[in-house]
Amino acid sequence: MAIQRGGFSTRIGFILAAAGSAVGLGNIWKFPFEVGEGGGAAFVVMYLAFCFILCFPVMVAEISIGRKTKRNAVGAFTALGHKKWSIIGYLGLTSGVLILSFYNVVAAWAFGYFIEMVTGHFDIGQRFGEFTSDYLTVGLYSLLFMGTTAFVVSRGVSKGIERAARILMPTLFVLIVGLIIYALTLPNAMAGLKFYLVPEFSEITGNVVYSALGQAFFSLSLGMGALITYGSYLSRDSNIVKSAAQITLMDVGVAVLAGFMIFPFVFSQGIEPNGGPGLIFVTLPGVFESLGSWAGVIIGSFFFLLLSFAALTSTISLLEVPTAYVVDEHGIKRSKATWLVAIVIFLVGIPSLLSNGASEALGQFITLPGAGTLDFMSFVGLIANDTFLPLGGFMIAVFVAYVWRKENFDAELAEGADNLKGSWLQSYVNFAVSYVCPVLLGLIFIVTVLDNFLGIRIMTMLLG
Ligand code: TRP
């Protein structure tokens, strides 16, 4: 199929776009509340270990498959001569659609908060539940958000994404560092730091392991072919291992910083850290209010605006995966494909929109043996994010090591690498996709599926 593909114009363009995909609500919204629910520092330790030991090699694998084949998440496997394995791509498309369907709603909260901050409504933190249950307002913002995402994606990767990521990411970084400094001056900040940094290993349960792994994959945008797709636009002279290392460090860095910012704030306001998805939305408005009305409006609106942009560079990558599939495999024009996919995903997201207090009727509560009672949004998160992503990562590692084969993988990594024999990192990646990832991901997957979906608590029994 001779389809013209866009490409990233520079190596740094790719890194920024991939880092833009990785850095988003996952780092600043999800990571802190998962840490809060997972008992604090013990969760952080596991998350970090999973990111470096398991996820980084999967990231290298995804980018290599993409660059080698120049195809979308489904077509890439066929292009390598293994059509059956394109099941990984279909699983990825499903994950992408489900994740974007709820992600877009949370992005709408972030954008809504930007509007509330501009208009000086600092009490929005106390009205979080009321705000999220107002499905008309949130629905309107989420329509706007999906529309903006589709607009950028319809114009192709290199133009929109590269440019946005280049300016906004560093700005967000600086703002967070500033807020950390302020946070550390507040009373009780140390209690927050202690919760965040001193692990209580008795807090680790099966569910904590599961959500730390899911969070690692989610935060790094892995396990559904997003980086296969972005890798397909990458030029042959770039160093994949090095780029993946930089992307991983940037993403983990932003998440860790977000924790340094949020926990001192949470503890200084006497808020419980295990409050779930509302954590930053309940906590931050009060912080901005304490800066005084002028500074509060300026810094508060700037923060939520940048958070919305960080979310946008992520929704772009989520929408790009199914779009690239429709364009490549069904020969539909990019602009038409984009809007088609975006409309479908928006509709799939309606139960998530309604699950935050707006409707008792529409899939509000779903009961699972292991996980208890979940609202629809958490349910989609448990399926797509905590289950499908690690499963996708497992299959990608197995595919690369045993189907595509290590020699071919290594040859792909060598292209663009500064050193022909490769670095120690490359050797680790090769070892990890063959042994560490299949074994650990497979084990954790089996144990936690038993735990979450069947209520068989192996992990709890093992950990005592
Ligand atoms: N990583 C993004 C975040 O942390 C979310 C995201 C974007 C994502 N693209 C993805 C998650 C692909 C999984 C797969 O906010």
CB of 100 shorter than 6 A to ligand 1: no
Q: Which atom of ligand 1 is nearest to the CA of 217?
A: 13
Q: If you take atom 8 of ligand 1, which residue's CA is the nearest one?
A: 221
- Record the tokens describing residue 299, joined without a space: 């810094």
**pLDDT number for residue 175:** 95
> Which protein residue's CA is at the shortest distance from atom 10 of ligand 1?
221
Contact 381 CB / ligand 1 (< 6 Å): no
Please tell me if the CB atom of residue 314 comes closer than 6 angstroms to any atom of ligand 1. yes
Compute the distance from residue 382 Cα to the ligand 1 centre, in Å.
15
Which residue, chain included where needed, has tokens 């560092």? 177
Q: Which pLDDT does position 1 carry in this prediction?
A: 35
Residues in the chain, pLDDT under 70: 1-5, 9, 157-161, 359-365, 369-371, 420-422, 459-460, 462-464
Q: 2 C-alpha vs ligand 1 centroid, how far in Å?
A: 30
pLDDT for res 22:
96
Q: Is the CB of 430 under 6 A from ligand 1?
A: no
Gyration radius of the chain's alpha carbons: 21
pLDDT of residue 370: 67
- 32, 36, 156, 365, 372 from 375: Cα distances, Å: 20, 19, 35, 5, 10
* Whether the Cβ atoms of residue 157 and residue 9 lie closer than 8 Å to each other: no
Q: Is 99 in the pocket of ligand 1 (CB under 6 A)?
A: yes
Torsion of CA 79, 161, 93, 379, to 10 degrees: 160
Average pLDDT across the chain, whole number:
91
Q: Is 104 in the pocket of ligand 1 (CB under 6 A)?
A: no
Q: Is 219 in the pocket of ligand 1 (CB under 6 A)?
A: yes
DSSP assigned state of 80: T
Q: Taking the alpha carbons of 110, 112, 118, 120 in that order, is the dihedral positive or negative?
A: negative
Query: What pLDDT shows up at residue 435?
Result: 98
Residue of the CA atom closest to atom 6 of ligand 1: 221
Q: Does residue 20's CB lie within 6 angstroms of at least one atom of ligand 1?
A: no
pLDDT, tens digit, for every residue of 252-282? 999 999 999 999 999 999 999 998 999 999 9
One of 3.40.50, 1.10.3470, 3.30.360, 1.10.4160 is the CATH number of 11-463, namely 1.10.4160
Question: Which tokens hold the place of 233?
Answer: 């636009």
How many whole angstroms separate alpha carbon 409 and alpha carbon 386? 27
**Is residue 29 in contact with ligand 1, taking CB distance under 6 Å?**
no
* Atom number in ligand 1 closest to CA 318: 9
Ligand 1 centroid from CA 211, angstroms: 15
Which residues have CB under 8 Å from 306's CB, separation 6+?
Answer: 168, 171, 172, 175
Q: Is 180 in the pocket of ligand 1 (CB under 6 A)?
A: no
pLDDT for the residue numbered 297: 97
d(CA 318, CA 390): 17
**Residue 223 Cα to ligand 1 middle (Å):** 10
Distance of CA 155 to the CA centre of its chain: 23
Atom 12, ligand 1: residue with shortest CA distance = 221
Give me the pLDDT at residue 3, please.
43
Can you read off the two tokens belonging to residue 117? Answer: 């901050």
Ligand 1 centroid–CA 308 distance in Å is 14
β-pair partners for 126: none
First to last CA, the chain: 56
Q: How many CA atoms lie within 13 A of 196 on its CB side?
A: 21
